[in-house]
A = this chain, B = another copy of it.
C-alpha cells in the first residue's frame, strides 16, 4: 500500500461569538503529511471522539483553555491503525489511541499526549474511559469528591458520557445510595447504569422529588449541569458534603452574553450552614498522579466488566461529519459518548 501524502483536517477559520456555525467558523482543508521522524508513527484515524471540552477552545473568552489557533487541525482524541512507523513501541498494523486531530491521518510521536496501543478488550471505549468523560469522572470522584464506601452520591447529567461512568464507579466503590438527575426520557438509562433512583429535572416537582430521593443526605454531588439543578442539589447536601464541579452545561450558552441570562443560585447559603466544600477542577490540572491513576483504574475496571463506557456512533461516517456531530453533542442528540467513524 502506498502511503498518503496529504490528509483532510478540520480547522477553525473564525472564533465563535455565539452558537457555532459549520460554514462560518470551520473549514475542512487539505494538509501535507510530513515525513516521519524517529519515534513517530502515521495513524489512519478510524474513530474520533467529540468533547464538550472542545467548545471553550473555539471562542476567545477567557477560560481554562487557550483559544485554539486558527487554520490548524483541531485537537481530538482518536483511535486508528498505525500505517507507517518509526517507533519501537507502535509497529505498523497496531491500533493506537491518543490526542490526535480531527483528520483522516495524524502523525503521532513521543510528544503526543495519551499515545498508547489500544487494549482489544476495551476497544473504542478508550475514547470515553481514557478521555475527558472517564478521567473527569474518576478524578472528580476521588481527588475532589473524596468518594468513599457508604457515601450517598448524587450526579447530574447522569445519562451523559461522564455521568454514566460516575454512577458505575460509585457503585463499584460501594456507595450507599446513588441518585441520578437527567431528563424524563433518559431516566431508564440512568437506572440501567446502576443508580438507585433517577429524578427528572424537567419534572414540575423536581425539587421535592430530589429532596425525597436523596433524603437531604448527599455526601458527594458530582456536578455537570449548573443552574436550577445545582440550586436544588445544594438543598439536598448533608453536613460536610463535597461538590465536585466538573461542568455546568446548562449555563454555557450564556457565556459571553448578558449577565442576567445566568441562573441565580439561591441556595448558596448551604455552603456555609452545611459546611460544604465545592470545587471546580480540570482533571489534568489536579496533580501529577491523578490522571495516570484514573487510567490504571479505569482500564482494570473495564477489563473486569464493572465499568462500561457507552459509545454512540454517529450515523454518518467520514471526517466531513465531525462538526455536525459536535453540534449534535451540544444539543444532547447522543446517549453515551459521541463518536464519528471514518
A: which residues have CB within 8 A of B?
56, 61-64, 216, 226, 230, 239, 245-248, 251, 255, 259-260, 262-282, 285
Contact = CB atoms under 8 A, between A and B. Distances in A.
Contact of A272 (B62, B266, B270, B280): B280
A268 B265 contact: yes
A98 to B, nearest CB: 25
Most chain B beta carbons < 10 A, residue from A260, A273, A275, A280: A280
A270 B56 CA distance: 12
B275 A281 contact: yes
Contacts of A277: 277-280
A280 B285 contact: no
Contact of A266 (B64, B259, B269): B259
| Copies of this chain per assembly | 2
B278 A279 contact: yes
Nearest to A270: B280
Given A62-B216, A262-B266, A279 B280 contact: no
A61 B274 CA distance: 11
Given A64-B239, A216-B62, A239-B64, A271 B264 contact: no
A255 B267 CA distance: 10
A279 B276 contact: yes
Nearest to A271: B280
Contact of A260 (B245, B247, B266): B266
Contacts of A264: 263-266
A181 to B, nearest CB: 17
B285 A275 contact: yes
Which of A216, A266, A282 has the most chain B CB within a 10 Å cutoff?
Answer: A266
Contacts of A255: 269
